[in-house]
Amino acid sequence: MSKIAPAWPPAGAIAILAPMAALIFASLDPHEGRTTVAAALGGLIASSGGAATLLRVRAESGADPAAEDDAATFARVPGCSAPSGAVSAQDAVAQARADGTVIVEALPGLDAGLAGRLPARAVIVSARFDGERLAALAGAANTLGDAFLGVILTRVPERSLDAARGALEGRGLACIAALPEDRLLAGPAVRELAETLHASRLHEGADEDEGLEFVMLGPISADPGQPYFLQHGAKAVVQRFDKMDLHLAALATEPDCLVLTGGQQPSPYFLDRVRGGGGAVTVLLSPEDTVRTVELLDDLYGRTRFSGRRKLDRAIELMRAHADVSFLQA
């Protein structure tokens, strides 16, 4: 997992973005990290005293729930402006021409036409840097021409950061950032747990869009559960519905979520304790057994949505530590 390096560049360096009319974040495929880096850059600009508008382009036809979710995330980035929902490409062009610094998250897939209509530079976000992807990135850069600014790599193993930068530079591609893989950014939110498991809510907690850094299984030994659960902070705990001693031990460590497996109701006493403790924890009841529940949750990693203040703060840390913003001059 990532170790945050000392802050670099200094906050004042972000001011060099001020003259830029627009910056487009594109990717060749979905789930590459466009929302993460766009929100993080907006947060960096705001933290340096600058101002930025964040826009998410939606599909031209039909519903686009992913775009609306991303737009809602942008609306919660402190210090940045964002409309209440996703916008059409035409509206993004109009706003980018009217405003100062505008950060646009494009649809998945390279849209060279959008870059051509905007007074903008384009950054390609990629979660891969293997040979096939490097060739595709070089082709995309050639298609974008003068609009191409560089590449931001996401989810790079810590040991491979230097190799990732070198691989891009070897293909003549500017590396704006190589961001290390991070457990929190990869982790699901409580809402995603509930949706994936088709779980029922026995109790609704606080903000179900906050990311979970850990998903823990209850211990199977006779050791006390509470010291075990205290090892981690932002977490969900998975345990069979009838293990009330472990439920109470986990509850005492303030998890975000308890996932009870087996599809049967837990002790009413446990639910009374949850409600009596202020109700900050969400309690989900999975219809599956513990093994199948964990398998389903494991499939969530790598395709979770970017949401919540925890993920935003972590993404800003990583961008501050690893991004070379000198590439982002107008």
- 3-state secondary structure labels for all residues of the chain: CCCCCCCCCCHHHHHHHCCCCEEEEECCCCCCCHHHHHHHHHHHHHHCCCCCEEEEECCCCCCCHHHHHHHHHHHCCCCCECCCCCECHHHHHHHHHHCCCEEEECCCCCCHHHHHHCCEEEEEEECCCCHHHHHHHHHHHHHHHHHEEEEEEEEECHHHHHHHHHHHHHCCCCEEEEEECCHHHHCCEHHHHHHHHCCEEEECCCCCCCECCEEEECCCCCCCHHHHHCCCCCEEEEEECCCHHHHHHHHCCCCCEEEEECCCCCCHHHHHHHHHCCCCCEEEECCCCHHHHHHHHHCCCCCCCCCCHHHHHHHHHHHHHHECHHHHCC
Task: Give the tens place of pLDDT for each residue, 43-89.
Answer: 988 888 888 899 999 998 889 999 999 999 999 999 999 999 999 98
Q: Which domains are present in the chain?
A: 11-182+306-328 (3.40.50.300), 188-298 (3.40.1390.20)
What is the per-residue pLDDT for 43?
Answer: 92
Output the pTM of the full model: 0.84
The confidence score (pLDDT) of residue 327 equals 52
Other C-beta atoms lying within 10 Å of the C-beta of residue 163? 12
pLDDT of residue 245: 87
Residue-level pLDDT at 116: 74
> What are 259-314's pLDDT values in tens digits?
999 999 999 999 999 988 766 899 999 999 999 999 999 888 877 889 999 999 99
pLDDT at 172 over 90: yes
pLDDT tens digits, 236-248? 999 999 998 889 9
* pLDDT exceeds 80 at position 32: yes
Per-residue pLDDT at 96: 76
328 pLDDT above the threshold of 80? no
Q: How confident is the model at residue 10 (pLDDT cuts 50, 70, 90)?
A: very low
Residue 11 pLDDT greater than 80, yes or no? no
Query: What is the distance between the alpha carbons of residues 176 and 192, in angstroms, rounded to a whole number?
Result: 31
pLDDT level of residue 105 (50, 70, 90 thresholds): very high
pLDDT at 178: 96
Per-residue pLDDT tens over the stretch 17-27: 444 568 999 99
| pLDDT confidence of residue 278 | 67
pLDDT, tens only, 120-165 = 789 999 999 999 999 999 999 999 998 999 999 999 999 999 999 9
CB-CB contact of 109 with 61 (8 Å): no
Q: Is the predicted pLDDT of residue 225 greater than 80, yes or no?
A: no
Residue with tokens 């940045």: 80
